[in-house]
Chain A
Amino acid sequence: MKTLIKSALGQIHAEETLKAKTAALIQAQATPAKKPVAFTPQKGHSINKKLLAIACALLLVCGLGAGGALYYQHPVAYLSLDINPSIELGINAFDKVVTVASYNSDGDAVLSDLQLYRQPTADAVAALVQAAAQKGYVYSDGSTVISLTAETAQPALAETLQQNATQAAQQSLLASGNTAVVYTTGIGLELREEARALGISPGKLNLIQKLQQLDPGITTQSYQNARVTEIMKQIIALNKEAKTSGKELPGLQGIENAIAQLEQNAEKEANSGTTENKEQNQQKETNEVAGEPTNGNGAKTKTGSNSDTASGSTAQNGAGNHDAAPTEPQDNGAKQQNAPANSTETPGDTATQDADGTDTAEPASTGAASTAQNGGGQGQPDTAGNGAGGQNKK
């Protein structure tokens, strides 16, 4: 046994090439460094592999983290909100706001106290609408159009974005007791680039371009600081003229609806001005008008609003557009509910109340606030009934 092992192992010799290689390697180690201390070959082989594996794993984790962070920071869509304040939100794939940009000084004013970064889109829109209302950019007589423009290359995303934003804006208006027409539409990213180059918000440029199609003489600058409401009114006015000459611009249904809502609001305002119920007539309902081009839902909501305009000469039509059907009574409910609260609590609402008073010259109403409310509730049996129904919901 022993001899066998000995003779067998005795045949094993180190090859000359191996020896030469080793000698060369050691010489190479010896020449560059006088003190070969830095070289620690004792644990080299296995440790190096472990270190390599750990380093790779770390790199992978860091890479994934950085990639994730970049992906999170990258906006996939933009939402431009224009009243006169023009603000654009960049929205990432997780429906969170990652960039906020203001396109004019009014926009800066609205943004001044807001922290929108990383908020869900709907919350951000609601906060913006509320802030705009508080700062007096949403007129209390319902003569304001809030334009929400989704800017993305993905139609499906644009649709959901429009829906969410509209809903959020309306709820915010309801909650703060303001009236405005919410107009949504979608545009492509090319227009956004163009708008950025001009320093105008993409939503507004979209409207101005419509104006320019109707009247090529109009310059972008002349409407740069105009309120969305005015631009839209101008579009409709020009379009009426164009109609007579047969050059009517297609796809203006949404804007027409929005203006129709405005007129209704104004009518309502005028009516309520003649009655005693001034104080309640902060129009709590909002009017949705569907967006024009990109989305299929435009048609749906559009017809909804059309039917409303047809039937509703009286107040509460606009809210009927909203998918949630019971909003109509709810609006009245909110009206009553909010009115007493206004006088004591929310400053924003009080502001609108004042504006209301001064606007339509009803100084007596402030004094008669409570009675006027009661009058509203009792004097109009239908509103009262609706109010009771909807009040509980909100």
Chain B
Amino acid sequence: MMEKTPYGTNDVITKALEQYADMVRRICFVYLRNEADVQDVFQEVFLALFVHGPGFESEEHQKAWLCRVAINKCKDVCKSFFRRRVSSLDEIELPFEDPQESEVMAAVLALPPQYKDVIYLFYYEDYTVPQIADLLHTKESTLYSKLHRARALLKQALGGSYENFD
């Protein structure tokens, strides 16, 4: 489908798109409310991958790399000048049919950006805290307290109707 470059990069991209598009899209979903931003970040992540080229130690390494790049880009957008001051008009509606899912996701999306990465990586991608620390280049203790605060915020938002937070 795509031309092969001397680096063989496009193979990597095609494969990565198949494999990780959903993951990147999910990260975007957690952070961004605006369809245009989502599209921008999504494309930039894979462009970054294209520029980086092959050379990952393993599949896991590549996945972690993509996670980090996506999260960082989302955070960049979140803290950018325009986004902070201009509220987006076309907010994404939650596409969940189950009301419980909607409620929980609404609470997750309402979290401050600094907690979203931990929640996503911990709850969805099943990374352990040491793995997340490695991935985000953060101290474990920081992550534990982040996780703790994020859970407290979720509890508060959900009114104690969900007891099992592990």
Contacts and interface: CB of A to CB of B under 8 A. Distances in A.
A53 B80 CA distance: 12
A114 to B, nearest CB: 54
B131 to A, nearest CB: 16
Nearest to A17: B39
Contact of B13 (A9, A23, A50): A23
A27 B17 contact: no
Given A1-B164, A45-B73, A18 B42 contact: yes
Interface string A177-199: 00000000000000000000000
Contact of A46 (B39, B48, B76): B76
A21 B166 CA distance: 38
B17 A29 contact: no
B146 interface: no
A324 interface: no
Interface string B63-102: 0000000000100110111100000000000011010111
A36 B50 contact: yes
B9 interface: yes
B124 A49 contact: no
B21 interface: yes
A304 to B, nearest CB: 66
B22 interface: yes
Interface in B1-44: 1-3, 5-6, 9-10, 13-14, 17, 21-22, 24-26, 29-30, 39-44
B101 A8 contact: yes
Contacts of A7: 98, 101
A8 B96 contact: yes
Nearest to A26: B50
A26 B105 CA distance: 32
Interface in A18-45: 18-19, 21-23, 25-27, 29-31, 34, 36-37, 39-45
B123 interface: yes
A49 B77 CA distance: 11
Contact of B3 (A11, A18, A25, A27): A27
A19 B23 CA distance: 12
A49 B76 CA distance: 12
Contacts of A37: 51
A41 B123 contact: no
A12 B94 CA distance: 10
A25 B45 CA distance: 12
A18 B100 contact: no
A2 B164 CA distance: 8
B25 A13 contact: yes
A70 interface: no
A18 B39 contact: yes
A12, A15, A31, A53, most chain B CB atoms within 10 A: A12
Interface string B90-125: 000001101011101100100000000001100110
Interface of B: 1-3, 5-6, 9-10, 13-14, 17, 21-22, 24-26, 29-30, 39-44, 46-48, 50-51, 73, 76-77, 79-82, 95-96, 98, 100-102, 104-105, 108, 119-120, 123-124, 154, 162, 164-166
Closest 8 CB pairs of A and B: A14-B21, A14-B25, A8-B101, A46-B80, A5-B123, A4-B104, A8-B105, A12-B26
Interface of A: 1-2, 4-9, 11-15, 18-19, 21-23, 25-27, 29-31, 34, 36-37, 39-46, 49-50, 53
